[in-house]
Amino acid sequence: MEKRAKEVGDIIKNSKQIHIVSHIDADGLTAGSIAYKTLERLGKDFSIEFVKQLDEDVIKNIKDKNYELVWFTDLGSSVSTSYTDINMIITDHHECPENSNKFFHLNPHLFNIDGGFEISGAGTTYLVSKAIDRENMDLSALAIVGACGDIQDRKYGKLMGLNRDILMDGKKLEVIDPKIDIRYFGRETRPVYKLLQYANDPVIPGITGRESSCITFLQEIGIKLKDGDSWRRWIDLTKNERSLIISNIAQTLLVKGFGYKITKKIIGEVYILEKEEEGTEVHDAKEFATLLNSTARYDKFDVGLKVCLGDRDKYLKKAKNLLLGHRANLVEGLQFAREEGIVKREYLQFFHAGNGIRDTIFGIVTNMLINSEDVDSNIPLIGFAFRDDGQVKASARGTEELVEKGLNLSAAMKKAASSLNGMGGGHNIAAGATIPKGKEEEFLDLLEEEIKNQLRL
Ligand SMILES: [Mn+2]
């Protein structure tokens, strides 16, 4: 991969004008920002755009602009063998066909590396940036945020593979610091009881989702909730208080019959962006990623981009406001999906959100659902939502356990969607597809057949 990264880097060096096209999620924003910084430092003439997906309209628009070079980040592998009339380079990590192994295409799957957890779109882009100039190694912090945005730390409770090498670059430069701590979301910015209230992966029975139980739980073990007028956050607690909470959560889980393997998931590595101010959304990689997800998914990619590029003033404030809206939308989306009801079949379960959930966040909602207490995690979950262009978006989520049994949602979604003239792909544990409206039932039949065959092997 290093050699390929250098080759792609050379194409960049030899081009004058470059247009970056990236994805609208946290990994896409950080990938685009790494590309942006790289080109800025090289003094290139460049532009950037963020898209939901590479559909025909997007491609047509790109062709019309006649860019000298187009740099696709965190997407593009799906078009690497088509559109030979676009002069392109690609730094992506989504599954791709073997015949796409070209000199301009950097993707871990071409090198037998798992793009699901070993490296993200931002990481792949970082490799090219580093190959161009080792001074760009400070951008490793953004690459780690991207990996956390794609939940690549979930499988082992820490980043592995190439992500680990990138992490070590960041550590050496003191831009990122890995620490062992509680892995629940919100260590830096949420009151401790809120951190518990929203705890998932694993959920804490009797505590997750119940505000008053969280407060009682903390009071019973003698944790002071407030310091004067302000709620204490995880980072405000003493070391002893933190261990006390962790051991009590572990006890609760073990008593409820969760095994050791699940219980130990509550602690793991967290990633601190050392140059950032403590107690802010950009100090912890996971919180940073969520902040970014609140921007481009609502068409405010300029806000996310500016924050990635270093704005800690006006745009950080804007992003924080968007975060409040994003949280509310997620809560509403989860509620909506539950009310619509999840229908179970033998090898999959699904819900149809219709127009009820914004298509740009409903992948996150599907992901939250499969990790929640009341949803069966033994079969994959498929969500449908209408898009504004009259098509239907499908989002599929599985679990590590299912992947170990042979599940590959990327392959299954791709195959089922293409038989219906749609398109699909992604990762083995999480994938998406777009299909014509009215074909949902047929799609589920095809998909179920694929999943059944995968799990049988
Ligand atoms: Mn990605």
- pLDDT tens digits for 332-382? 999 999 998 999 999 999 999 999 999 889 899 999 999 887 899 999 999
pLDDT at 201: 84
pLDDT at 457: 67
Give the distance (Å) from ligand 1 centre to CA of residue 78: 13
In CATH, which of 3.50.50.60, 3.40.50.1950, 3.10.310.40, 1.10.8.60 is domain 341-456?
Answer: 3.10.310.40
Contact 181, 170 (CB under 8 A): no
Predicted TM-score (pTM) of this structure: 0.92
pLDDT tens-digit readout, 110-162: 999 999 999 999 999 999 999 999 999 999 999 999 999 999 999 999 999 99
Give the distance (Å) from ligand 1 centre to CA of residue 207: 32
pLDDT tens-digit readout, 216-230: 999 999 999 999 999
Neighbours of ion ligand 1 (CB under 5 A): 27, 74, 121, 150
Give the distance (Å) from ligand 1 centre to CA of residue 229: 40
Give the distance (Å) from ligand 1 centre to CA of residue 7: 22
Pairing verdict, β 17-23 and 69-73:
parallel
Give the distance (Å) from ligand 1 centre to CA of residue 59: 19
Mean pLDDT for all residues in the chain: 95
| 377 vs 309, residue with greater confidence | 309
pLDDT tens-digit readout, 50-76: 999 898 899 999 999 999 999 999 999
pLDDT tens-digit readout, 395-435: 999 998 999 999 999 999 999 999 999 999 999 999 999 99
CATH class as words, domain 2-173: alpha beta
**Residue spans per domain, the chain:** 2-173, 191-232+234-271, 279-330, 341-456
Give the distance (Å) from ligand 1 centre to CA of residue 151: 9
Give the distance (Å) from ligand 1 centre to CA of residue 64: 26
Give the distance (Å) from ligand 1 centre to CA of residue 212: 37
